[in-house]
Structure 1
Amino acid sequence: MAHRKSLNRTAKQRRIAHFLSQPLQAAAPGQSATLTAAQKADLEARTVGRVVFPWDPDYDQDRQETNPAFQDYPLAIIYCACDADVLASLAFTQVLGVAVSVRSGGHSTAGYSVNTGGIVIDLSEMKGVVLDEDRALVHVLPGTPFEVFNGALNGTGWHVPTGACGSVCVAGFVQGGGYGYTSRTYGIQSDKAAAFRVALASGKIVTAKAEGEHADLFWALRGGTGGNFGVVLQVSYHMVRLPSVWGWSITWQAEQAAQVLELLQKDYTRRGAPEQLGYMMNLGYYNGQVVYMVQGMYCGPRDEGYAAIEPLLQIPGAQLVVDKVGTYPELNEYFEDHPYPLPQDLPDGICETKASGYIDKPIPQAVWQQVIDQFHKAVNPWSMVYTEPYGGAIARYPVKDSAFVHRHVDMDIVIDGCWRNEEERVTVQAWIDGLYDLLRPYMNGHVYQNYPNRALQDFAQAYWGDEAYLRLREIKTKYDPTNFFCYQQSIAPL
C-alpha cells in the first residue's frame, strides 16, 4: 500500500510554514504579549492535537466557557489528543512563564478553566471509556462527558455515580467530589475512584492510588479540585451493579410547597428515607408558572421506592407525574426534559450567577415560605433554586479519608440566577443575596467546591476547612513546589 501522510500532519506543516512567513501578530484583547513565529511553529510541531490562536476563525468560540459571564483571552488553546500533548503543553507554558488553565468540560462556575494572557490545556478531545468487568473497574479519559460515560455503561448492568448534566466531563467533576442522583446510595463520585494517572508540572506522569508512593495525591485529588496538583489523564473507578432504577417525580401546589420542603429536610436527608432513594428538589418556571417539584431515582424495585415516597404523596395536591423503570443512563437523560425542562427555553448567550451552601440545621416551615416568596421575585423565568440531599453513603464515608469533607449535612442548596446584561445582573445578584440571607442562619459556612464562587471571602475555609486545607497545602508543596498551577482560588504551597 502506498505511503500516505496524515491529513492532520499535512495541515500542521502548512500552518507552521505560514507562521514562519508572517510578521508578528498583534496581541489579543486584554493581553500584553503575543507569541513569536518560532514559538507558534514549535507548539504546532510538538503536538498532535489542535492549537487555536487568537487570529484563528474559531478562537472566539473556543475561548468560551459554558457560562458566557466569563470572557477571557488566552494566548493559545491546546486541544490535547494524547498524554504527550499534555506534557508538551506543560513544558511550553513553563518556558513562556505564563498562566495555565486546565479545561475538560468548561463548566467551572467561577470561570477558572480559562484565562487571559496564558495557555489553556483543553482535554475535551481526550475521551473514552474502557470496562474491566473481571475486576469491576472502568477506566475513563478526562474529557469524557457523562452522556458518553453513561452511554458506555448503559445495558451492562454496571454503574458509577455521575452528575445530572450530560455535558459535564469527568476530570473536573471527580476532583471536586461529584454529586448525582445515586450518591445517597453509592457515595460521592470521588468515593468510587480507584486510581488517577496524573501529569505533573515536572513532566513526570504518576499513578495515584489509595496505597503506595502517591497515596497522598490520591487523597488530594478526591475533593481538592482541578488545576491544583497536575493534569488528570485518566480516572479509574470501582463499578457497582445497578441493572435498573425506578424514576419518579412529584409536583405540588403553591399552598403546600413550604410544608413539603420542611418534610423533605426532616425525613428525606440524613434521617428517615432509605439510602436507595436519591432526588433533587426544584423551584423553577415552566410556561410562566412556578413549578414545585421533586424528582429522583430509587436504586431498587418500584414498590419499595413507592413506599418510601408515600408520605410525600399524602400531602394534598401531590401528583406523581413520573413513574418509570429504566436504566440509570436512560433515566438520567429522561429527567433533562421530563416532566419539565428546567430552565425552559434558555436563550443562547445568557449568563449565570450561582450561589450555594450546605444546610445543617432545620429550616422552619415559615422560613421555607419566605424562601418561596422571595423566589417569586425572580427577574426572569430562567432562574432556579434546587437542593441536593445528603445522608446515606455520603455520610458513612470517613471525613478524613478524602479532601471532600462535606459529609454530615442535610443538603446542599443552590441558587441559580440568569441575566442578559449588566443592569439585569445587578438585579439578579440582589435577588440571590435576598435568598441567601434568608438561608444563611441554617448553613454551616461550607460550600461545595464543584460550585466555586469568586465572591467567597475565605474560600479555603468554605471548601475544605482548616485541617484539610493544611494537608492540601502540604501535598501541593510536594507535587507542585513552584506553584505552576495557580489561579484565584488555587491551593497555595507552604
Structure 2
Amino acid sequence: MAHRKSPARLAKDARVAYFQALGASQAAPPTLPWDAAARLEAALAGRIVLPSSPDYNAARQESNPAFQAFPQLIVYCICENDVLECLAVAQRYNLWVAVRCGGHSTAGYSVNDGMVVDLSEMRGVVLDRPAHRVHVLPGTDFDHFNAAMNHTGWHVPTGACGSVCVGGFVQGGGYGYTSRAFGIQSDLVESMRVALADGRIVTASERENPLLWWAMRGGTGGNFGVLLQVTYRMLPLDQVWAWSIGWDAASAAQVLELLQRHYMRTGAPDALGYMMNLGILNGQPVYMAQGMFCGTAEAGMQAIAPLLAIPGAQLLVSKTGTYPDMNVWLEDHPYTLPDALPEGICETKACGYISQPLTQAQWQSIVDFFATSPNPWSLAYLEPYGGAINRYPVQDSAFIHRNVDADLVVDVFWRNPQERVQMEAWLDRFMQLVRPFLNGHVYQNYPDSRLQNFSDAYWGPAYPTLQRAKAAYDPGNFFCFEQSIALPGGQGGNAQAGISA
C-alpha cells in the first residue's frame, strides 16, 4: 500500500521547520529555546501557537476581551499524550501553566503569560446506555454535549451557555435549568481521569483516589491536575416544558418576594427550574423569569399558577420539547438579554448567595437600584437553589453552597476604560446594597479577582481539606494562579510567569 504523510503531518513538518528556522535566525524566547519548541511540536498530535504565529492574537483571547494576557506558547492538545508532553516540557523549563477549555473564566484564569494548555480540541461524548453512564472529554462544549444527548431519553444537567466546556464547568460545580431536579453537575460525576504534574494519569472516584474525586467536584480547575475525561451518571428525561413569564415594573418586587418564599428552598416542586432576570430591553427595564419543568405542560402550569396570578403577568413562552432543544429555544425566546450587546464588549461580574428572607421593600430597593444602570446592557439575575442541590450532603464534595435560596449575579458591560470605571463603580454600589442579604460565599464558577478572602468565599469550611488534597496530588504547587488553592501552611498561587513552585 502507499505510504504517504497525511495533510496534518505535512502541516506539522512545516511548523517544526519554521520553529527550527527561527532558532537559527533569532534569539531564543525567554524561557523556552526554539529547538525545544520544535521538539514539542514534533511530539504532539496537536499543535503549538507562538507569539510569532499568524493566529497568535486570536488564539490568546478569552471569551471576555477584558483579559489580555500574552502566553509564551499556546498548545492545542487533541489527546492525552499531548497533555503529558506539555507538562513534561513545562516542568523542564519551569513554565507557568494555565489550563483552558472554553476560555470562560470570569476572572481570566484560563490564560496566563507562560504556557496555556488548551483542551478545546479534546471533544467527544460516548453514551453507555446499559450502564446509564456517559463519558465526556473536557473540551466538549454544551452545544456538542447536548446535541449528543438529544433524543436519547437521557440527561445530565448542563449550563445555558452553549460555548462553555465541560472541563472547567464541572470542576466548579455546574448549575443549570435542571439542577433543582437532578443536582449540581458535579454531583453526578462518577469518575474523572486526571493528569498530574508528575506525569501520572490517575482515576479519581469514590473508590480510587477519593480525596481527589472529592476535591475536583467544586475545587475548580487548574488546582490539582488536568482533567482528561469525566464520567457522569445519566438520568432519564425525555421531554421538558419550557416557560417564561414577564411582569410589569410595579409587580417586580412582589414577584421576587414570592419566588424566594415559595420557589427556592421550599414550596416549588424539584422539577421546576428557572432564572429570574432583571434586564433592559429597548431602553426600558424588564422583569422576566424563564425556565424548564421536567414534566408535562399541565403540571408545569399548575406549579407556576401563583406567579401568573400576580397583576401584569404575561405567559411569554410555553413550549414542550427535549432539554437540548428547549435550551436552545430559551436563548432567543421571549428575547435575549442583554439586548443588542455590541461585538467585542467587555464584561465584569459579581455574585453572592442569598440565604435569608428579604421583605418586599428590600426587593424593591434592588429593583429601584437596577433601574439606575448607566448603560443599557446591565443584567441582574437569580439562579434559584433548593431541591436536589440542597439535599446533596454538603460534606460529600468541595461544592459547599447547599443551604441557600439563590445565587444573585450581576453583570456589567463596558467598551473603554472610562466606561469600565463607571460601570464597575455602579456594580460595587449594587453589591454594597445587597451585601446585608448575602451569606459571604461566592459561586466558584464565577470567580472574582477583586475578592479579598476568596478561599472562604468559594470554599468556606472545605478549604483545609482542599489544601490536604493539594499537598497529596500537587505537592510542588505546579498548578497555580492568583486564586489557586495554597499548600497547607503556605501562600496562594504565584501569578508571575515562569514561576511554578
- 2:332 partner SS: coil
CA contact (8 A) 2:49 2:73 kept: yes
Match of 1:475 among 453, 469, 478: 469
Task: Tell me how far apart the structure 1 counterparts of residues 43 and 119 of structure 2 sit (CA, whole Å).
Answer: 16
CA contact (8 A) 1:24 1:36 kept: no
- 1:335 partner SS: helix
Aligned position for 1:227: 222
CA contact (8 A) 1:374 1:434 kept: no
Residue 385 to residue 41, structure 1, CA distance change in 2 (3 Å): same
Aligned position for 1:289: 284
CA contact (8 A) 1:359 1:412 kept: yes
Aligned position for 1:17: 17
Give unpaired runs (5+ residues) of structure 2.
489-501
AA partner of residue 102 (structure 1)? V
Aligned residues with identical type, % of pairs? 62
Task: Tell me how far apart the structure 2 counterparts of residues 199 and 235 of structure 1 sit (CA, whole Å).
Answer: 12
Superposed CA deviations along residues 181-228 of structure 1, whole A, max 9, x for unmatched, are 00000000000011100000010001111123x011100010000000
Task: Tell me how far apart the structure 2 counterparts of residues 211 and 485 of structure 1 sit (CA, whole Å).
Answer: 24
Which deviates more from structure 2 when the two are superposed, residues 358-367 or residues 132-141?
358-367
Give the paired residue count.
487
CA contact (8 A) 2:31 2:93 kept: no
CA contact (8 A) 1:25 1:34 kept: no
Aligned position for 2:2: 2
Match of 1:239 among 234, 242, 252: 234
CA positional deviation for 1:21: 2.4
CA contact (8 A) 2:75 2:86 kept: yes
CA positional deviation for 1:19: 2.2
Moved over 6 A (4+): none
- 1:290 partner SS: strand
- 1:149 partner SS: helix
CA positional deviation for 1:323: 0.5
Match of 2:428 among 423, 429, 433: 433
Superposed CA deviations along residues 264-293 of structure 1, whole A, max 9, x for unmatched, are 111110011111100000011122221100
CA positional deviation for 1:25: 4.7
Match of 1:384 among 379, 382, 392: 379
Task: Tell me how far apart the structure 2 counterparts of residues 151 and 392 of structure 1 sit (CA, whole Å).
Answer: 26
CA positional deviation for 1:107: 0.3
Aligned position for 2:84: 87
Task: Tell me how far apart the structure 1 counterparts of residues 170 and 264 of structure 2 sit (CA, whole Å).
Answer: 22
Match of 1:122 among 95, 118, 124: 118
Task: Tell me how far apart the structure 2 counterparts of residues 66 and 122 of structure 1 sit (CA, whole Å).
Answer: 14
Aligned position for 1:205: 201
1:308-457 equivalences under 5 Å are 308-457=303-452
Aligned position for 1:63: 60
CA contact (8 A) 1:247 1:297 kept: yes
Task: Tell me how far apart the structure 2 counterparts of residues 126 and 21 of structure 1 sit (CA, whole Å).
Answer: 30
Residue 4 to residue 215, structure 1, CA distance change in 2 (3 Å): same
CA positional deviation for 1:18: 2.4
Task: Tell me how far apart the structure 2 counterparts of residues 113 and 189 of structure 1 sit (CA, whole Å).
Answer: 20
Aligned position for 2:109: 112
CA positional deviation for 1:345: 2.1
- 1:324 partner SS: strand
Aligned position for 2:40: 43
- 1:211 partner SS: coil
Pairing 1:300–2:295 present: yes
TM-score calculated relative to the size of structure 2: 0.96
AA partner of residue 68 (structure 2)? Q
CA contact (8 A) 1:244 1:326 kept: yes
Task: Tell me how far apart the structure 2 counterparts of residues 37 and 66 of structure 1 sit (CA, whole Å).
Answer: 29
- 1:105 partner SS: coil
Task: Tell me how far apart the structure 2 counterparts of residues 124 and 176 of structure 1 sit (CA, whole Å).
Answer: 18
Aligned position for 1:461: 456
CA contact (8 A) 2:31 2:95 kept: no
Superposed CA deviations along residues 224-276 of structure 1, whole A, max 9, x for unmatched, are 00000000000000000000001100000001011101111111100111111
CA positional deviation for 1:324: 0.5
AA partner of residue 127 (structure 2)? L
Task: Tell me how far apart the structure 1 counterparts of residues 257 and 27 of structure 2 sit (CA, whole Å).
Answer: 58
CA contact (8 A) 1:367 1:438 kept: no
Give unpaired runs (5+ residues) of structure 1.
none
- 1:332 partner SS: helix
- 1:173 partner SS: helix
Task: Tell me how far apart the structure 2 counterparts of residues 183 and 19 of structure 1 sit (CA, whole Å).
Answer: 48
CA contact (8 A) 1:24 1:37 kept: no
Residue 399 to residue 24, structure 1, CA distance change in 2 (3 Å): farther
CA positional deviation for 1:149: 0.3
Pairing 1:141–2:137 present: yes
Aligned position for 2:189: 193
CA positional deviation for 1:349: 1.4
Residue 16 to residue 306, structure 1, CA distance change in 2 (3 Å): same
Pairing 1:78–2:85 present: no
- 1:21 partner SS: helix
CA positional deviation for 1:34: 5.5
Task: Tell me how far apart the structure 1 counterparts of residues 178 and 131 of structure 2 sit (CA, whole Å).
Answer: 22
- 1:336 partner SS: helix
- 1:444 partner SS: coil
